[in-house]
Amino acid sequence: MRVPLHPAGGREIALILLLFGGLAAIAFGFVLAGFAWFWPIGGLAILLGGGGVLFFRDPERTPPTEPGIFVAPADGKLVEATALDHHPDIGGPATRIGIFLSVFNVHVNRSPCAGVVRTIRYEPGQFLDARDPQSSSKNEANTLVIEPDEPMGGPVVVRQIAGKIARRVICTLKVGDRIEIGQRIGLIKFGSRTELIVPGHDQFKIVAPMGKQVRGASTILARRQPLTEPVDTVRQT
Residue 143: count other Cβ atoms within 10 Å of its Cβ.
18
CB 113 within 8 A of CB 89: no
Quote the pLDDT of residue 237. Answer: 44
Cα(3)–Cα(171) distance, rounded to whole angstroms? 20
Tell me which of 111, 136, 192, 218 is the catalytic residue.
Answer: 192
The per-residue pLDDT for 168 is: 76
pLDDT for the residue numbered 5: 84
Please say if 135 is a catalytic residue.
Answer: no
Q: Identify the CA nearest to 107 among candidates 38, 160, 180.
A: 160
pLDDT tens string, the chain, 237 residues long: the values are: 566 888 887 888 899 899 999 999 999 999 999 899 899 999 999 999 988 888 889 999 999 989 999 999 999 999 999 999 999 999 999 999 999 998 889 999 999 999 999 999 988 866 666 566 666 667 788 999 999 998 888 899 999 988 665 557 889 999 999 999 999 999 987 668 899 999 999 899 999 999 999 999 999 999 998 765 444 555 544
Q: What is the pTM of this model?
A: 0.84
Is the Cα dihedral 22, 23, 25, 26 positive or negative? Answer: positive
Judge residue 48's burial from the number of C-beta atoms within 10 Å of its C-beta, 0-12 exposed, 13-18 middle, 19 or more buried.
middle
